Amino acid sequence: MNRDDRPTLHPGTLVRGLLADLGTLVREGGPVGEIGKDGDGVAQLRRLGAALRERRAAADEELATRYRDRAGAMREVIQARQQRVEAYTHRLRQAVPPEPGKYILAGRLTDEGTGVPLPNVVVRLQDDTPGAAPTTAHTDALGYFRLELTLAGAGRTGGRAGDVRVEVLDAEGKVLGGSERSFHAEPGRSDFVKLRVAGGRVPRSLELGRTVERAVEERLSRLRRTERVVAQGPPLRRPGARGGAP
């Protein structure tokens, strides 16, 4: 074997490997008549190698055809997943469907300096109606929250509440911040508010938000890598490639 970058194989190993496929070629009508009649072993191996290359080329072409047929569908699936992740993380979900008899105030809480979402922080809906108890909720992994106020029952004149506002609390119940304005609560209505506080005042939530953002970005990176692999096509053997692989 010439001294180049080909894999190092003993000649006997190469011969045995090539002859191992001879049985298949015999069954499928390969160049049987010629192998064995010619006493030149090199010529026999050349003919056998040519037959194997033909089989390999046919298999590669079949694989490429099947891959092309499915590549479009694969790309659509990858892009759809990527869009769902990006929409879930980066687009404010401001379309909050109203519910009869309820007022809904939804929103998102982020760090005022970096925009990192702040998970697991308590938010409170303050209702100015006399005797009304405050409604609380926790932000989710991406900082979103949803507060509901039922406007039917005692103390609700005409089925409506007074003005409401939302506050952000720390672990001890101290107010960290809140909405810059009040909202007029009416049944069947919903509002969306963006809240920002100093993440350093809720350090555990800030660190958790950073972890979530890293996990989301890693997920998007994997989807982008998969999309690039799909676009490259199947790993076919190239003519003249050494070692049998591209």
Contacts with 170 (C-beta within 8 Å, 6 or more apart), sequence order: 121, 122, 176, 201, 202
Domain range list for the chain: 11-85, 102-223
Mean pLDDT lowest among 68-77, 96-105, 126-135, 229-238: 229-238
How far is Cα 17 from Cα 22, in angstroms, rounded to an integer?
10
CB 87 within 8 A of CB 95: no
Candidates 166, 171, 173; CA nearest to 149 is 166
- For 102-223, CATH number out of 3.30.310.50, 2.60.40.1120, 3.40.50.720, 1.10.260.40 equals 2.60.40.1120
Q: What is the three-class DSSP state of 31?
A: coil
How far is Cα 132 from Cα 127, in angstroms, rounded to an integer?
6
CB 138 within 8 A of CB 122: yes
Report the range out of 29-38, 87-96, 218-227 with the highest average pLDDT: 218-227
The pTM is what?
0.57
Q: What tokens does 150 get?
A: 């039922």
Residues forming a β-bridge with 175: 169
Q: What tokens does 78 get?
A: 């990858």
Q: What tokens does 104 get?
A: 């809904």
More confident residue, 216 or 178: 178
pLDDT tens profile 168-215: 999 899 999 999 899 988 888 889 999 999 999 999 999 999 998 898
pLDDT tens profile 64-106: 777 777 777 777 777 777 777 766 665 545 556 777 888 899 9
pLDDT at 140 over 80: yes
Locate tokens 């002859």: which residue? 19
Distance of CA 234 to the CA centre of its chain: 22
pLDDT at 22 over 60: no
pLDDT tens profile 7-21: 444 445 545 555 555
Q: How far is CA 139 from CA 12, 87, 108, 121, in A?
A: 69, 18, 8, 5
Q: With cut-offs at 50, 70 and 90, classify the pLDDT of residue 246.
A: very low
The pLDDT assigned to 149 comes to: 85
Count Cα atoms within 13 angstroms, Cβ side, for 98.
Answer: 12
Q: What tokens does 58 get?
A: 């046919």
